[in-house]
Amino acid sequence: MRSKICISPRIVTMSGPQAVNSNLFKKKIQRKNTAKLKLLRLYVILWLRFRKEVLSMPALQSQSQITTLEQYEALPEDTRAEIYDGQIFYMASPSQIHQSILLELSTLLNSYVKNRKGDCRVFPAPFDVKLSDHPLTIVQPDIMIVCDKSKLDGHRCNGAPDFIIEIVSPGNPADDYIRKAYYYENYGVREYWIVDPRRRTVTVHDFEKNMLSIQYSFDSAIKVHIYDDLYIDFSDIADLLNI
């Protein structure tokens, strides 16, 4: 007859600093899960708002696969395209109002950053950002601020910029509101603004503080959260551009 071996479960209890650390860890996980749930709900809301544009938008239709950096660099020099998970998406040329806003915002940001004399640099489009090698993901934000000089190799930014602004084009609003918000948050962008001339709104995602989809009108002075004292007055820009 085989003898039976019974192993009694051991109950481990924690007290003092261990219990405090365990509770803090649990709360941190809960906050992170809550933030992810909020972001998922936001993407669903935006998808419902822009689904018609998504389904009918040529700019969001993949054309072919680009799986390596060498393939991407072999594209014709005048090609305007981004790569998401190895899929290439061609972009239309920007409009006059798009370029006017880009010029004003990049000039304001560059003036502020230069006066601070720090490591940060401002780059307007076209300038590549390689978010991932596998799968290959390369984007060209309209405006970005990069504060980690080690990410710059003379050709592109390797890794997430600290701050990104995208200016919405009438033909592809869902690209900026949904897809780019998803990728920028997942790859570590600290702050992301969506400037929408048609709606006259600025949508701010402060991913560091889990402040998502905070919307401002074009008569607002909006804080750039990666800095302590930088505000951009969009009423000045709207008046200057007559929008």
Query: Which CATH number does the domain housing residue 234 bear?
Result: 3.90.1570.10
Q: Is residue 161 part of a domain?
A: yes
Q: Is residue 7 part of a domain?
A: no
Q: At residue 198, does pLDDT exceed 70?
A: yes
Query: Within 13 Å and on the Cβ side, how many CA atoms surround 165?
Result: 27
Q: 207-230 pLDDT, tens per residue? A: 999 999 999 999 999 999 999 999
Mean pLDDT of 34-56: 53
pTM: 0.77
Name the helix (H) or strand (E) containing 123.
strand 121-124
| Residue 124 preceded by cis peptide, ω within 30 | no
Q: Is residue 6 part of a domain?
A: no
Quote the number of domains for the chain. 1
Q: Is residue 3 part of a domain?
A: no
> 75 vs 48, which has greater pLDDT?
75
Q: Which domain holds residue 92?
A: 17-241
